[in-house]
């Protein structure tokens, strides 16, 4: 899927644990994209 760019900021409390990975409920990418990093699957 590649890198779609930066993600919206999300609170760590909003993260969902799925398949052993922290998923953001807003952008649905694995952290640390919502911590200011780049999104990636």
pLDDT tens for the chain, residues 1 to 41? 455 555 656 666 666 777 777 777 666 666 655 555 555 55
- Write out the E strands in the chain: 16-18, 21-23
Q: What is the pLDDT of residue 7?
A: 61
Q: What is the pLDDT of residue 1?
A: 47
Q: What is the pLDDT of residue 25?
A: 66
Which one, of 37, 22, 18, 40, lies nearest residue 9 by Cα?
Answer: 37
Residue 39: how many CA atoms within 13 Å on its side-chain side?
17
pTM to 2 decimals?
Answer: 0.29
């Amino acid at each position: 899927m590649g890198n779609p760019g930066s993600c919206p900021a999300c609170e760590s409390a909003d993260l969902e644990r799925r398949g052993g990975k922290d998923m953001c409920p807003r952008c649905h990418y694995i952290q640390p994209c919502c911590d200011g990093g780049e999104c990636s699957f």
